[in-house]
Structure 1
Amino acid sequence: MPHPLDAAAVRTWCALALRALGRAREEIDAINVYPVADGDTGTNLYLTVESAARAVDAVFEGRATGGPAARPGLPEAVRAMAHGALIGARGNSGTILAQLLRGMAQVLGESGGEARGAAGGALLGRALGRAVESAYEGVARPVEGTILTVAAAAAEAARAPGDLAEVAHAAYSRACAALEATPRQLDVLDRAGVVDAGGKGLVEVLGALCAALSGTQAPPAPEPAAPGWRAAPCPAEPGGGPGDGPAFEVIYLLQAEDAAVARLRARLDALGESLVVVGGDGLWNVHVHVDDAGAAVEAGVEAGRPHRIRITHFGAAAEERTRVRERVQRATVAAVPGEGLARLCAEAGATVVAVRPGEPPSSAELAEAIRRAHAHEVVLLPNDPELRHAAADAADTVRAEGVRVALIPTRSPVQGIAALAVHEPGRRFDEDVVAMTAAAGATRYAELAVAERQSWTMAGVCQAGDVLGLIDGDVAVIGRDLAATAETVLDRMLAAGGEMVTLVLGRDVPDAVAGRLERHVRGGHLAVDTVVYRGGQHSPPLIVGIE
């Protein structure tokens, strides 16, 4: 049964698109030869849509307690979708997709409510038209035979009259035909014998839109315009490889005024290629391929305030993705903050997921790390209670792909370290998981943090700047000095017994603090050993483990 285009349809569209890209991710990665054969277009599109889906879910969840009358409308949902895609856009195709969604939101966001019938079809046609216009505006040097061509074909088909489902179906069908024709438009695709990876991803997204509006599965793709062209793995040496262009991909979000962005476009266009600058209203997503990554970031600093900066070296990334190796029997994956903790876990044999300040890894990033471990069996250590849902989703996703994944609910990096210390790949999987779980569970943990504002805690009222001693996640001590507060925390925890104290120092904590705490443990608890690691994390400044 056809559905109206409303907030619920947008949420369904995001969910279906995410599922479709999840299924097609590896195929899309495999055919990625343009603009750089770095094998990550499918993953980048998936992460971009995941960010869009999370933003739409957040709008619904924020209104959940208000009853039916408080449910979000179409304008709010599409704007959330576009904003989520913008802040989470990855890679060249992901950035273009974010702009396509933004262009659609500019039209759909002006509607009064849900759209139906022929009027809805006309609205969708205008939205797709605006999407293509805005995408071409965002790309410095548009190239045909890419995601842009597929989007333009879909928008052209959507101009024909029809109801919502008919217009969506027409756009999807024309996009499929345009995708099959991309090798005849772009030589690098022709030589590799593949269709455009970004265009393939867009077809999956449009198919999900079809399904969301029709209430059925996306219709099968029509017969290709050129039957010889089929998506297939790239040959060993496709054109446009990582060594054929700039060395780095630079991506960042930028807060800047329109005039500054115009100057930035000109400067980055002179520095490199594959320049895409999308967004508006003061927030932009900048993507460029350059040899001088520092100059690209400096240009952003001059234009405004860049953040969430990602720099990828194409040669290293391609080597990692294309390295051929046998799938190992068992591996571990650990999420940790700080380069010191990351190095420690890597030395223990774990595949590491970096936890950046204010930017926890998504379920897709955790799932990708599990895949990157390239093992039949994987033990996942989230090391943070805030990551439990993302970790569970990632484990479920990869289990569906045939990998045996065990999630150990570690709540702190010190519990993860304890689990890795007893990891034994030669044991049966279940026995290894039980031993690691027991080691993590036997490790009590604490964190020393600095209060950002006045608030009530279980230990009383704290003021901004106070040092908080959290034991097993709850505030137990409030102090003014880091070392003194840590001594109180250690005494409380060791009163219940313990044989080993682990101290993980943050980036700005001096070694003298560790020395003072080691002496304190030695003086009051003679049978307890202390081990110190320089974790390098921004926050918390000190993590404590007691085994």
Structure 2
Amino acid sequence: MTQKLDTSVRAIREWLQRSVKSLGNHSDRLNAINVFPVADGDTGTNLYLTARAGHDAVSKLESDDIGGFLEVAARASMESARGNSGTLLAVFLSGLSEPWRGHDRLTASLLSKGLERAKVRSWSALSEPVEGTMLSVISAAALAAGSTLAHIKTDVESRAALDTVLHQVAQASRMAVRGTENELPSLENAGVVDAGAVGMLVILDELCAAVRGTETDFESYDGFNGYRVQDPHVHLIQNDDQGVEVMCTITLDALGAATLRGQLDRVGDSVIMSPVNPTGEEVYRWRVHVHVAEADMALALIRAQGEPVNISITDLCTHDG
């Protein structure tokens, strides 16, 4: 097994490509169990479109830097992020890329550092992070990588060490998905696991498979509650949410970002703010996401801080994804 490991940019490129394909294949099933934070049936679609934006940005990029390569994909994903799940995916990719920059090979220690950074970035991006979601899977993956690495007796920079960590990350992520049903009342009532959590598992499984040179066992996903193909779109009977989802990109300094987050927290929920890239000293482009009763309410607050671009407004009502 270990002699097949590909730890270069080639594997990262393969991972992004495989993730897009698999998220596309699973989008209908992810949409069907999309209950939290709103039952709008679009988690699979949002993850697929966000991942595709990242992949497309690096499809012709030549680089030996695994972190720099992934950073370009993460930035493109952030600029085109769709919904809660897509935004968190982009934040995850951005965090993962940070410790990898300047390296041409993935190692067990780099994987652990990347997952830990992705966990911190993902949890801090939300004003009110919630267990039983994508966050649970990201946390489980980071914990598994760190604890496994700490107990490896051989060379932690070896391919064997990386293979061991990848195996444990995959196992822990799968267990975290199974646990989501019991962590949120809305999921327990619907009898399903979290759609975003399954989507994150797809991404992590494809990372492990791309590096290890194996195929992902998607048949085992049928064991997740509500995920069998014949199950109905549970979100169709769960959605009673009203309002809109507002997303945009805006350039802010740290004070402006903190002020805007606080204001959006008071008028809406599902607030996510994450820096895309620096535009000057202590000034960043921020991707903003919020659910509010009326779009004008959020846009007025946003425009009071700066000039937003890439604005999207989506009704929080049931649709086909």
Specify if TM > 0.5: yes
Indicate the structure (1 or 2) with the bigger Cα radius of gyration.
1
For residue 253 of structure 1, report the CA deviation from its aligned partner: 1.5
- 1:275 counterpart = 2:271: yes
Q: CA deviation at 1:230?
A: 4.2
Q: What is the alpha-carbon distance in structure 1 between the residues aligned to residue 165 and residue 266 of structure 2?
A: 40
Instruction: Give the match's secondary structure for 1:279.
Output: strand
2:178 to 163, 177, 180: 180
1:101 aligns with 2:99: no
Superposition deviation, residue 16 in structure 1: 0.7
Match of 2:158 in 1: none
> 1:149 is aligned with what amino acid?
S
Whether the 8 Å CA contact 1:260–1:303 is kept in 2: the answer is yes
DSSP 3-state at the match of 2:232: coil
Find 2:197's aligned residue among 196, 199, 205.
Answer: 199
Deviation, 1:301, is 1.7
Q: CA deviation at 1:251?
A: 0.8
Residue in 2 that maps onto 1:497: none
Tell me how many residue pairs correspond in the alignment: 299
Q: Is the 8 A contact 1:22 1:46 kept in 2?
A: yes
- DSSP-derived class of the 1:83 partner: helix
Partner of 2:156: none
Q: CA deviation digits over 1:409-442, x for unaligned, max 9?
A: xxxxxxxxxxxxxxxxxxxxxxxxxxxxxxxxxx
Q: What amino acid is the match of 1:271? A: V
**Residue equivalent to 2:117:** 130
- State how far apart, in whole Å, the 2-side matches of 1:50 and 1:85 are: 8
Which digits, 9 at most, give the CA deviation of each residue in 1:505-546, with x for residues without a partner? Answer: xxxxxxxxxxxxxxxxxxxxxxxxxxxxxxxxxxxxxxxxxx
Q: Helix, strand or coil: the match of 1:285?
A: strand
- Cα pair 1:145 1:182 within 8 Å, conserved: yes
Tell me the amino acid that sits aligned with residue 14 of structure 1: L
Question: 1:167 Cα deviation (Å)?
Answer: 1.6
Map of 1:113 onto structure 2 = 104
Extract unaligned runs of 5+ from structure 1.
61-70, 322-367, 369-547
State the TM-score, normalized to the length of structure 1. 0.52
**Distance in 1 (alpha carbons) for counterparts of 2:297 and 2:221:** 47
2:38 paired with 1:36: yes
The counterpart of 1:78, out of the listed 70, 94, 101, is 70
**Alpha-carbon distance change, 154 to 228 in structure 1, aligned in 2, over 3 angstroms:** closer
Q: How does 1:356-505 map to 2 (within 5 A)?
A: none
Contact 2:67/2:99, CA 8 A, preserved across alignment: no
Report if aligned partners of 1:180, 1:230 keep a CA contact under 8 Å in 2.
Answer: no
Percent of pairs with identical residues: 33
Contact preservation (8 Å) 2:178, 2:224: no
| Residue in 1 that maps onto 2:128 | 141
Report which of the two has the higher share of strand: 1
8 Å contact kept, 2:32–2:235: no
Aligned amino acid, residue 185 of structure 2:
D
Determine which of 206, 209, 214 is the counterpart of 2:207: 209
Q: Structure 1, residues 98-131: CA drift from partner, whole Å, max 9, x if none?
A: 111111111111x43223xxxx111101110110
Across the aligned residues of Structure 1 and Structure 2, the Cα RMSD in angstroms comes to 2.1
1:113 is matched by which residue type in structure 2?
D
Counterpart position of 1:59: 61
Write the letter of the residue equivalent to 2:23. L
State the secondary structure of the residue aligned to 1:75.
Answer: helix
Residue 7 of structure 1 contacts residue 74 of structure 1 at CA under 8 Å; is this kept in 2?
Answer: yes
The letter of the residue matching 1:39 is G
Structure number with greater CO (CA < 8 Å, separation at least 6) is: 2
In the alignment, does 2:258 pair up with 1:262?
Answer: yes
- Hey, what does 1:23 align to over in structure 2? 25
Deviations 1:453-474 (A, max 9, x none): xxxxxxxxxxxxxxxxxxxxxx
What SS does the corresponding residue of 1:305 show, helix, strand or coil? coil
Maintained 8 Å contact 2:68/2:97:
no
**Cα separation, 2, equivalents of 1:96 and 1:192:** 23
Contact 2:57 2:73 in 1 (8 A): yes
Q: Could you tell me which amino acid in structure 1 is paired with residue 261 of structure 2?
A: R
Q: How far 1:79 sits from its partner (Å)?
A: 1.1
Partner of residue 470, structure 1: none
- Cα 1:235/1:219, change in 2 over 3 Å: closer
Cα shift readout 1:63-99 (whole Å, capped 9, x = no counterpart): xxxxxxxx44223201112112111110001101111
Unaligned runs of 5+ in 2: 153-160, 279-283
More helix by share: 2
Partner of residue 171 from structure 1, selected from 154, 169, 172? 169
Quick one: which amino acid aligns to residue 106 of structure 1? E
Give the Cα separation in 1 of the matches to 2:144 and 2:248.
Answer: 34
Between the aligned partners of 1:22 and 1:207, the Cα distance in structure 2 is: 15
Match of 1:311 in 2: 313
How many angstroms apart in 2 are the aligned matches of 1:11 and 1:296?
A: 37
- Give the drift of 1:216: 1.1
Instruction: Give the deviation of 1:306 after TM superposition.
Output: 1.0
